[in-house]
Amino acid sequence: MGMQGDFFQLLKEQGYRFPAPSGTGEGMGSDITRGTTILAMRYRDGVLVAGDRRATAGNMVMYDRTDKVLEVDRYSVLAIAGVPATAYEMVRILEHSFKYYRRSQLQELSFEGKLRAVSKLLKDNVAAALAGTGAVAPIFAGYDQDQGTAKIFFYDILGAEFEGVEYAVSGSGSPTIRGILHYLNTWSAQPLSRLGEEEATVQALRLLTSAAEFDSATGGVNREAGLFPIMKLIKASGVQVLPDTQLRPLFDAQVARHV
């Protein structure tokens, strides 16, 4: 996960030295497990959130069945890129916080309240993030019941919050698919927000396959092992998981024949 932006440049100018990147064999960052590419995009009925399944530690593949799109409650998910141990703990805290609010106040926490909760957890984690032992750059997507629409927000490792109006990406494979998403949304026959569920699913499969082609930390589809990306839809009815039995025929018919 690259560190970019004016804040990090300022730290470097002040003499701060970041831990060595994974795979260099130096520093604490070389053996920390990390999750990679995630994306979220609007489609006709809501938001699709997807992530590959690979977790790496340096140049080693630690696990190929990681769930990087985690349900926080019935109407929201947190997709994780970065250190899974930190991200999973954040999701557990969010899940219990939202549940406690719902039971104590007899109503759902507002969408704005959920966004603030995610940001606070990331800000509380700044020390670990800058030390290179707990950096997480997630995507939060959920259905705003007050406004009647699904929304996408992404964060940097310091907790800064940004709205991804049409799409958001994070993780090591994100540079590849960010450009593709911009192209599709700007110059294809129709913008992403007009795609049907099947069309959006096919595009997500193609995007993650492209990321895996150019980024070794991103896991591709393994049909023999039955490994497909994690994909979840967020609609007015709540979070819906797309099963592998639905992804396989779409991949075989509209993705695999072109690769």
Residue found under tokens 């603030």: 116
Contact criterion met (CB below 8 Å) for 153 and 115: yes
Radius of gyration of the chain (CA): 18
Exposed/middle/buried for 180, CB within 10 Å: 0-12, 13-18, 19+?
middle
3-class DSSP assignment, residue 133: coil
Task: Considering the candidates 24, 36, 37, 245, report the single residue annotated as catalytic.
Answer: 36
Nearest Cα to Cα of residue 50 among 89, 80, 19, 20: 80
24 is catalytic: no
Contact criterion met (CB below 8 Å) for 132 and 32: yes
Contact criterion met (CB below 8 Å) for 20 and 30: yes
Question: Residue 69: which region, alpha, beta or left (left: phi > 0; alpha: psi -120 to 50)?
Answer: beta
Return d(Cα 239, Cα 187) in angstroms, integer.
29
Nearest Cα to Cα of residue 82 among 48, 122, 111, 116: 122
Contact criterion met (CB below 8 Å) for 239 and 85: no
Nearest Cα to Cα of residue 173 among 216, 222, 227: 216
The strand pairing partners of 60, in sequence order, are 57
The pair of three-digit structure tokens given for residue 180, joined into one six-digit string:
């593709």
Which residues form the catalytic set? Answer: 36
